[in-house]
Amino acid sequence: MHPRQALLTSQLGLVVKNANTLSRSYSSVPDAVGSQDTVGGIVSNIAQHLGMGEFATGGLQLAVIGGFLAGFRYFGGYFVDYVKKRVIVTANFDSRDESYSWILNWLNEHPYSNVATQFSVSTVISRGAQRLPGEGLDSTAPAVYFLPAHGLHILRHKNRFMWLNRERPSPSVAAAGGQSNGPAERISISTFGRSRAPLHNLVLEARTLFIERDKSRTVVFAADQYGAWRRTRSRLKRPLSTIVISHTVKDRLVNDAKEFLESENFYAERGLPYRRGYLLYGQPGSGKSSMIHSLAGELGLNIYVVNLSNKSLTDDTLGELVSDTPSRCLLLIEDVDSAFVQRTQGSANSSVTFSGLLNAIDGVAAQEGRILCMTTNHIERLDPALIRPGRIDVRILFENASQAQAAELFRKFYPGLPTQDALKLSKEFSSHIPEKRFSMAHLQGYLMGQKNNPIAGANGIQEWVQRHENNGGSDSTAYDQDQEVEEFGNTGCISGTSTPVRPATPARPATPKRIPFTLPEVRKPDE
Ligand SMILES: Nc1ncnc2c1ncn2[C@@H]1O[C@H](COP(=O)(O)OP(=O)(O)OP(=O)(O)O)[C@@H](O)[C@H]1O
């Protein structure tokens, strides 16, 4: 035999011998039973039975042992997982979900965030840890949040050890995982034990903390390019008293919305879709958006804004977005005329089709308990189907400033004035303003130039008005009628009593048409 061959044979013999020894060591059966009962023995017996040589027997024994080890490795993972599941409880949070913001906020408040040596700094608490505009604008300096950095952290909460893993997959991993909503960040929090209660309570605590933080604010969500809602900003609630419109209109609108939110049973008992739609229409800068923000604040609802001009928005994503809104929220579609002029004209400015919009508004997936608000400066351009009863239940006309509104705006603009002075100066101010000639935004702009000088504000208005009238003014022709709420049938779909709005000619009329209404009074649902 060749010396190398002899060496190989002797080495293999050694391995086989060791394998026999090893296989014996796994056996818990006493030697008295005989070597036949060990794994090695059984394998060699089978090998002998098959007429295999010593070399092949050793190979077979090695293969069997390798198989055992591979099997242990494979099933060992399951075993470890099984044990983990029985002694460790874990909660996972995904950045695409609102609960992620609760946890980030909770972490920011947690003492660990002050001592963590690896931490990230953020000016916003938001999903996806994205830099989003708007937060902190109400204060002079933007807020700063200190959060544990990505990676593993061990912290103590309510006398319990917990470990937290904050992970952000790379975009390639997210793409491979088919995450169409963009790469998601994840936080998992674990602790020993089988009870979910500690983590359950932690989540509830985080939610309460977050709600407290937003209590005095209205949070605005907007659809991102992936078709998911993103928190874009939160604003201090705007008091209703700062909106200068007819008090009757304001009260009726707010009461109507409040009544709706309390009438779930009424709708359920009658099998009516539980939603309510408002259309705020009229002059630019007359307070439509401000009224909606104020209304949301009053009702304690967050605002979900859909921008139909967003080219990445499709019928499907719009439908998903609407069905993804919480059951209590205000869904806002601003400047709805800019995307849809008339059904027949298609949707040149939007990837969403007209029927896609209608489906999203009242399709089966549309959320119950939702308030829909649409705004437009051109009601006459809207397709009647879009604003038919059931989709839009209440219409509110916003006009340019009346003299009474101008006077009230003046008084609210200078709240520190003694009553007598406020009355005198506001009268002087408003007397020079032609009825419904200028928008409230326009007048507010003028007053901003006289922020600290109410007397100059009152005295200078005449010259300002003359100047703007000579220039043709920047406001369009005034309406000739009073502000009012126009009320369709309460139940929307089954009404059929209202007079539909005729699609107007494409040319912009000087004076928007008033829409006739059939029910002058707001009816209570249980009347
Ligand atoms: N009726 C009003 N009461 C108080 N402030 C008003 C009123 N109307 C307008 N403003 C002020 O004018 C500015 C613009 O108002 P807002 O955006 O609400 O108008 P809009 O009708 O929604 O305008 P557009 O149709 O152009 O979107 C805001 O700063 C708001 O405070």
State in Å: Cα 511 to ligand 1 middle: 19
Q: Residues 364-374, buried b or exposed e (16+ Cβ, 10 A)?
A: eebbebbbbbb
State in Å: Cα 458 to ligand 1 middle: 21
Whole-number Å distance between alpha carbons of 224 and 206: 25
Q: Does the beta carbon of 290 lie inside 6 Å of ligand 1? A: yes
Which atom from ligand 1 is nearest to the alpha carbon of 292?
A: 18
Beta strands in 143-283 (DSSP E): 145-148, 151-157, 160-167, 186-192, 217-223, 229-236, 275-282
Nearest CA to ligand 1 atom 23: 285
Print pLDDT tens along the chain (527 aa): 455 555 444 444 444 444 444 444 333 334 443 455 676 777 778 877 777 777 778 888 788 888 888 887 778 788 888 887 788 999 999 887 878 888 988 888 888 887 888 787 776 665 443 333 344 444 445 567 778 888 899 989 998 999 999 887 666 555 554 444 455 788 999 999 989 999 999 999 999 988 887 778 888 988 876 778 887 878 889 999 999 999 999 999 999 999 999 999 999 899 888 889 999 999 999 999 999 999 999 999 999 999 888 878 888 888 888 888 888 899 999 988 877 654 444 445 567 888 888 888 876 556 678 899 999 999 998 988 888 888 899 999 999 999 999 999 999 999 989 999 999 999 999 999 999 999 999 999 999 999 889 999 999 999 999 988 876 554 433 333 333 333 333 222 222 223 333 333 333 333 334 433 322 333 333 33
Q: Enter the DSSP assignment of 142.
A: -
Q: Does the beta carbon of 285 lie inside 6 Å of ligand 1? A: yes
pLDDT at 333: 93
Pick the closest to residue 377 from 221, 245, 220, 509 (CA basis): 509
Q: Does the beta carbon of 198 lie inside 6 Å of ligand 1? A: no
C-alpha distances out from residue 40 to 22, 45, 56, 302, 460, Å:
8, 8, 13, 71, 107
Tokens of 116: 């963590």
Which atom from ligand 1 is nearest to the alpha carbon of 242?
A: 4
Which atom from ligand 1 is nearest to the alpha carbon of 401?
A: 1
Any residues with CB less than 8 A from the CB of 418 and at least 6 apart, and which?
none
Whole-number Å distance between alpha carbons of 476 and 345: 26
Any residues with CB less than 8 A from the CB of 365 and at least 6 apart, and which?
319, 320, 322, 323
**pTM more than 0.80:** no
Q: Does the beta carbon of 376 lie inside 6 Å of ligand 1? A: no
pLDDT at 298: 94
Burial class (CB in 10 A: 0-12, 13-18, 19+), 351: middle
Neighbouring-strand partners of residue 220: 233, 303
The DSSP H or E segment spanning 468 is helix 454-470
Whole-number Å distance between alpha carbons of 149 and 155: 13
CA within 13 Å, CB half, 426: 21
Nearest CA to ligand 1 atom 6: 287
Tokens of 118: 């690896």
Q: Does the beta carbon of 441 lie inside 6 Å of ligand 1? A: yes
Q: Enter the DSSP assignment of 77.
A: H
Alpha carbon 299 to its chain's center: 18
